[in-house]
Amino acid sequence: MSDTLLLAAIRAVIDAGREILAVYETDFGVEKKSDDSPLTLADQRAHETIAKALKPLGLPLLSEEGRDIPFEERKLWPRFWLVDPLDGTKEFVRRNGEFTVNIALIEEHRPVMGVVYVPVRDSLYFAADGVGAFKLEQAGKLLVTFDALPAMAVRLPLTDLPPRIYTVVGSRSHATADLEYYIEQLRATKGELDFVSAGSSLKFCLVAEGKADIYPRLGPTMEWDTAAGQVVAQCAGARVVNHETGSELRYNKASLLNPWFIVERI
């Protein structure tokens, strides 16, 4: 994995996070997309910031805010950036801080590098095949070089967590009857369990940290929602698989809609 690509992605999410927080602290307006999901100035500014930062690297970019690229064009991409400039816009609108900036590098239908940034907490998760998964606090306040990253960051999963019961993490904004049924099935096999609600790709990160055992997503998501978090979780020792087939999620499909999936510690 190229040091240059990873550092560029890290700097891009941090810069996008600053743009997001600048809007977060104002009385911002909310528009509606064609699918009725919310859109704010923060989404647009973050997209523009990331696109500008990554353009010099010469790879194509597919973003939630720049999704209208025909499959006939993007299917020819062996390698590209997959970006969600503001994952968890509903959480942003609610001002609960549980939103992230996500950048993944896709190679031959697989996410091989992922960066997840939590602007309100200034927390950074990053991972890459062959490198591992890490968490870095106060990321925006640090001058980061690739050689310094491993020493500054904490490798995931965390090793100093207190004992806990089996923990399920689920969406704060997208609870479904299917999820409730799935949790009841887990209770039948696991016994007592805890359920933790979280927004955006933070759910992947909680499993990666070892603070949760499983994240079942039995509802619709898009590829940009999951790619970066998938790398962080997988490089921390979890599996991210299709709920029905058990196979790893694939990317740059004709339809960018994901199947239902499970993120689970192995």
What share of the chain has pLDDT > 90, as a percent? Answer: 80
Please say if the pLDDT value at position 152 is more than 80.
Answer: yes
* Averaged confidence pLDDT in the chain: 92
Fill in the amino acid letter for 192.
E
Kindly state the tokens that stand for 150. Answer: 């491993």
**pLDDT number for residue 140:** 86
Residue indicated by tokens 């690297």: 57
Q: 145 falls in which pLDDT band (50, 70, 90)?
A: low
Burial label for 186, CB within 10 Å (0-12, 13-18, 19+), is middle
pLDDT tens digits, 74-130: 999 999 999 999 999 889 999 999 999 999 999 999 999 999 999 999 999 999 999
Please say if the pLDDT value at position 142 is more than 90.
Answer: no
Domains in the chain (CATH in brackets) are 3-155 (3.30.540.10), 166-265 (3.40.190.80)
Give the pLDDT mean for 159-182: 88
Q: Running DSSP on this structure, what letter comes out for residue 37? A: -
The full DSSP string for 106-139 is: EETTEEEEEEEEETTTTEEEEEETTTEEEEEETG
Please say if the pLDDT value at position 189 is more than 80.
Answer: yes
**pLDDT number for residue 32:** 79
Tell me the C-alpha distance between 11 and 137, whole Å: 14
